[in-house]
Amino acid sequence: MWSIRLKLNKMFTSDLTPARKAEIIQKVAQKVVDLKLTPIAIVLLESGKPLSFVGSQLMVFFQPIFTAIFPFTQYDEFTALLEERQNIELLIQAIERLDEEKREKGKRPDARKE
């Protein structure tokens, strides 16, 4: 009986509000940029874009293992987000934008040094 309830509790992309999608994309993009993984993340996301749905289903399959090891509370939401290719593109754009902002911030001369 519990297994049926667990299957019914699966989140779908349509369950996420646009604001929540944007928030998740922003958090993931910020983490990628903070860890300086921008180039590899973009390459992996671009190359995996055609298989985004399959990848999200693999995440569903491995969910018990990942959630036991990693304290990722938004795992279901992120899995649902990856089901649609357009969300992958939005994630790539967010990573590129944040990386560019970080570079521009690093190029600005500090007013205290003058």
Compute the distance between CA of residue 37 and CA of residue 18 in angstroms, rounded to an integer. 26
Nearest alpha-carbon partner for 29 in 101, 85, 105, 106:
101
pLDDT of amino acid 102: 94
Nearest alpha-carbon partner for 72 in 13, 24, 40, 6:
24
pLDDT of amino acid 71: 63
pLDDT by residue for the chain (114 residues), tens digit each?
444 444 445 556 567 889 999 999 999 999 999 999 999 999 999 998 888 888 888 888 888 888 877 666 678 888 888 888 899 999 999 999 999 999 999 887 764 554
Structure tokens of 69? 């090891």
Residue with tokens 């390459």: 43
Compute the distance between CA of residue 97 and CA of residue 27 in angstroms, rounded to an integer. 13
Residue 7's identity, in one-letter code, is: K
Compute the distance between CA of residue 62 and CA of residue 78 in angstroms, rounded to an integer. 13
Report the Cα 107 to chain-centroid distance in Å: 27
Compute the distance between CA of residue 64 and CA of residue 84 in angstroms, rounded to an integer. 22
